[in-house]
Amino acid sequence: MSTEKDIARTSAFSRTTITELMIPSYANFGGKIHGGILLSLMDKVAYVTASKHSGAYCVTVSVDTVDFLQPVEVGELVSLMASVNYVGNSSMVVGIKVISENVKVGNVKHTNTCYFTMVAKGEDDKPCRVPKLILEDATDVRRFVEAIYRRKFKQNYETNLKEIKANWEKQDIDKLLEDQRCINQAGKH
């Protein structure tokens, strides 16, 4: 008999695409689509993908590297393609590729790729175990391994920053700020 621990799913099982028309009320004063609209759509597709994989209610814990590479215009069709790239115990990394399409002209822009970490929660509102991920091909393996490294880099970054903050001296800060575009008035009043 299989137990919950034995359950494993492919990324194809939960792969999700959402396409949405960019309407005028989504635009900022410059006539381009608000970054927040795209973030909200990314959160939605990440939730759908993670909840399909886990079969549970999920929450967003972390969002990595959202860079808006190109502006999105009113009237374009934005598609968000999401798949589970990595699973831990209760967490899942959902990779999302966003493209924007002008159907009249027929061009497609890659607007960004980012990674949402989602955590599955049980009935008790505590993180719960999610099914393993079956890696079916080289792309699945690459994405899983990249997620492991991204996690490590983030941990290193946090440790390094903590270390720097614990040890920084006033003269180091003054030196660092010398060439920056700021006027440091701290401690002068």
Ligand X SMILES: CC(C)(COP(=O)(O)OP(=O)(O)OC[C@H]1O[C@@H](n2cnc3c(N)ncnc32)[C@H](O)[C@@H]1OP(=O)(O)O)[C@@H](O)C(=O)NCCC(=O)NCCS
Q: Which residues bind ligand X (CB under 6 A)?
A: 59-62, 88-91, 117, 119, 127
Residue 28 or 155 having the CB closest to ligand X: 155
Residue 37 or 93 having the CB closest to ligand X: 93
Shortest distance (Å) from residue 57 CB to ligand X: 11
Residue 35 or 88 having the CB closest to ligand X: 88
Shortest distance (Å) from residue 83 CB to ligand X: 17
Shortest distance (Å) from residue 131 CB to ligand X: 12
Residue 53 or 79 having the CB closest to ligand X: 53
Residue 33 or 50 having the CB closest to ligand X: 50
CA distance 27 to 100: 14
Shortest distance (Å) from residue 113 CB to ligand X: 18
Residue nearest ligand X, CB atom distance: 88
Partners of 2 in the β-ladder = none
Shortest distance (Å) from residue 39 CB to ligand X: 12
Shortest distance (Å) from residue 145 CB to ligand X: 16
CA distance 168 to 132: 43
CA distance 187 to 189: 6
Answer whether 102's CB lies under 8 Å from 75's CB: yes
Residue 7 or 173 having the CB closest to ligand X: 7
